[in-house]
């Protein structure tokens, strides 16, 4: 839940203190994990067993992160995000990034069951219209 604890539920809304002062522009939730878009950065927290946190900084421990973790490796300012069961799609002006569960090609690579870092799925030339939204399904 991003609260820095291992509580599995709360009964009243609570502030995620580590995001205080950041302008949140978008948020999405998958199966037991969340993604937040702040003005210039992207943060994940929760369960991440399929690479949803966008990194392997923890030496193979891809699972529970109780406080927001900044995603690195994205070269674009992200405008929108969407989550499936275990993957994330992030939309910039003319690019689409993805990472997480990829066992059925959700991230567009099919190279492994999970993509641990953001992958550039699509890039469109300047003359193409802007990409404004993406949507993920369950798996």
The pLDDT tens digits for 41-51 are: 899 988 887 88
In a domain, 36, yes or no: yes
Q: CA 35 → CA 68, 94, 98, 111, 129, distances in Å?
A: 9, 20, 12, 24, 26
Give the integer Cα–Cα distance in Å for 133 and 79.
Answer: 9
> How wide is the angle at C-alpha 86 spanned by C-alphas 83 and 90, nearest 5°?
35
38, two tokens: 């702040």
pLDDT given for residue 15 in this prediction = 84
In the chain, the number of structural domains is 1
In a domain, 99, yes or no: yes
In a domain, 49, yes or no: yes
- For 77-101, the pLDDT digits (tens) are 898 999 999 889 999 888 888 888 8
In a domain, 136, yes or no: no
Give the integer Cα–Cα distance in Å for 99 and 103.
Answer: 11
In a domain, 133, yes or no: no
Domain that holds residue 81: 17-123
In a domain, 27, yes or no: yes
Confidence band for 23, pLDDT divided at 50, 70 and 90? very high
Report the chain's mean pLDDT, rounded to a whole number: 81
- For 97-139, the pLDDT digits (tens) are 888 888 877 877 767 777 778 888 877 888 877 888 888 887 6
């Amino acid at each position: 839940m991003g609260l820095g604890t291992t509580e599995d539920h709360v009964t009243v809304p609570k502030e995620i203190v580590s995001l205080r002062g950041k302008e949140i522009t978008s948020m999405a939730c998958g199966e037991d994990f969340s993604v937040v878009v702040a003005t210039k950065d992207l943060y994940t927290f929760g369960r991440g067993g399929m690479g949803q946190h966008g990194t392997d900084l923890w030496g193979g421990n891809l699972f529970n992160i109780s406080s927001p973790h900044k995603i690195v490796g994205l070269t674009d300012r992200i405008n929108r995000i969407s989550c499936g069961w275990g993957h994330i799609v992030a939309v910039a002006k003319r690019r689409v990034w993805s990472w997480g569960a990829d066992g059925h090609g959700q991230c567009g690579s099919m190279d492994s069951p999970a993509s641990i870092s953001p992958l550039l799925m699509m890039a469109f030339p300047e003359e193409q219209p802007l990409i404004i939204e993406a949507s993920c399904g369950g798996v």
